[in-house]
Amino acid sequence: MNGPVFILRGNIVYSKNQKELNICEHGYLVCRDGQVEGVYQTLPFRMGGNPIHDHGDCLIIPGLVDLHIHAPQYSFRGLGMDMELLEWLETNTFPEEAKYESLEYARKAYQIFADNMRRSATTRACIFGTVHSPATLLLMDMMEKTGLDTMIGKVNMDRNCPDYIIEETEESAGETLEWIRDVLHRKYQNTRPILTPRFTPSCTDELMEELKKLQMRYGLPLQSHLSENQVEIAWVKELCPWAGFYGDAYDRFGLFGADCPTVMAHCVYSGEQEIERMKENGVFIAHCPESNMNVSSGIAPVRTFLERGLHVGIGSDVAGGSTENLFRAMAHAVQSSKLRWRLTDDSLEALTAEEVFYMATKGGGAFFGKAGSFEKGDEFDAVVLDDSRLKHPQPLDVRSRLERMIYLADEREIRAKYVKGKEIDLT
Ligand code: GUN
Ligand code: FE
């Protein structure tokens, strides 16, 4: 390959594996044709003459991956948190999501979401829209313009929700088909459709069957919620007495991994059988620690997932989570794992900075293919962090500076961002 080459210079940090970092101080990260060519301590002679962006003492990390976020809920982030999941859905979520029937409202609200995602350290995301196809297409147009690489879904729900937002089964399936066709016509570069049954309580068996047909016809991935809250789980048992466990209620329809690339948010209460099935089927888990605290769901056994070799990434789950800032989500993942260890189960050691960084980059990135790291051939998603605002009386090593970013970074630290080799406008 002889495509265009450019080089970023700085302190390059990425995951070697779940437990260790690769660090190359004052090194060179080479991009060729939108992919990583390599990380070098000394620039190979043959690469001299290509443009070098020297970021001095800045940190350069892979772009962060948000495996679970709700775009329409961005408008009420940080509001109405004093409730458990199901009451929170009825009181805050459904009334707000209903507003996206109006394209005028959607345009205003989604612009704020798209702008803030663009300026964040996130380069890839799996995003829920609402049941409304026009607003979801508008969201996709807007996200495409940001340059971020995303999967976005029109939500399906044909039972157990208020009249003002519920769909008829046929209408839900038909609208989804039309939406997929419309998306494919638009020939986006960076925006893909993803099937989005909200969760088992809001989708009938008939609707799940229809979604499977669409999944096979178009080879689509799928995102949903799983084993988030105890009342929700008991409800799924009532609705699907034939299911061996919650995840089985998706798997019966072929909507739980295997030939359907799947990401499930939460998995706070996944038992042995569910964990085993997720492993067998290659289901990705989106760990959403802030949301799990805010709507009082619990704390997922993330170390078990990691030790068992499951795919685990991080989700902000706005507006269960209050912020799209994935550095916050990483810190919450470490902090909540410590409380879990201290208060409920000392057999699972707390997560480390290395582990949550892995989850927010390479772990979630794998859902998008070769993303989330700086191995040769990975898609070139990078974030340059300037932490000079955060003064320290002594020099800190690069690992410590990365840890500090996890706890302290906001958009002020983000100096540049690239997705597939293209620089993103941060203004
Ligand atoms: N389960 C079903 N819908 C939702 C949602 O919007 N947020 C969260 N956190 N859980 C859900
Ligand atoms: Fe969610």
Q: Could you report the per-residue pLDDT of 28-67, keeping only the tens digit for each? A: 999 999 999 999 999 999 999 999 999 999 999 999 999 9
Residue 68 CA, ligand 2 centroid: distance in Å: 6
Question: Per residue in 85-98, pLDDT tens?
Answer: 999 999 999 999 99
DSSP H helical ranges for 151-190: 169-186
Domain boundaries along the sequence of the chain: 5-62+373-423, 64-368
Q: What is the pLDDT of residue 3?
A: 78
Kindly state the tokens that stand for 233: 């789980």
Ligand nearest to the CA of 297: 1
Q: From 3.40.50.300, 1.10.1040.10, 3.20.20.140, 3.90.1720.10, which CATH number describes the 64-368 domain?
A: 3.20.20.140
Residue with the nearest Cα to atom 8 of ligand 1?
320
Q: In which band, very low, low, confident or very high, does the pLDDT at 307 lie, cut at 50, 70 and 90?
A: very high
Pocket of ligand 1, candidates 66, 156, 199: which has the most ligand atoms within 8 Å of its Cβ, to mutate? Answer: 199
Q: What is the pLDDT of residue 90?
A: 97
Residue with the nearest Cα to atom 7 of ligand 1?
320
191 lines ligand 1 (CB under 6 A): no
228 lines ligand 1 (CB under 6 A): yes
Place of tokens 């080479």: 30
Pocket of ligand 1, candidates 89, 290, 295, 316: which has the most ligand atoms within 8 Å of its Cβ, to mutate? Answer: 89
The CATH fold assigned to 5-62+373-423 is Urease, subunit C; domain 1 (2.30.40)
pLDDT higher than 60, residue 1: no
70 lines ligand 1 (CB under 6 A): yes
DSSP 113-147: HHHHHHHSSEEEEEEE--S-HHHHHHHHHHHHHHT
Strands 52-62 and 5-15, bridge-based pairing: parallel
Question: Per residue in 328-372, pLDDT tens?
Answer: 999 999 999 999 999 999 999 999 999 999 999 999 999 999 999
Query: Beta strands of 33-111 (E only): which ranges?
Result: 35-40, 52-62, 64-70
Residue with the nearest Cα to atom 3 of ligand 1?
198
Q: In which band, very low, low, confident or very high, does the pLDDT at 2 lie, cut at 50, 70 and 90?
A: low
Question: Per residue in 104-154, pLDDT tens?
Answer: 999 999 999 999 999 999 999 999 999 999 999 999 999 999 999 999 999
pLDDT higher than 80, residue 414: yes
Atom of ligand 1 nearest to the CA of 93: 6
175 lines ligand 1 (CB under 6 A): no
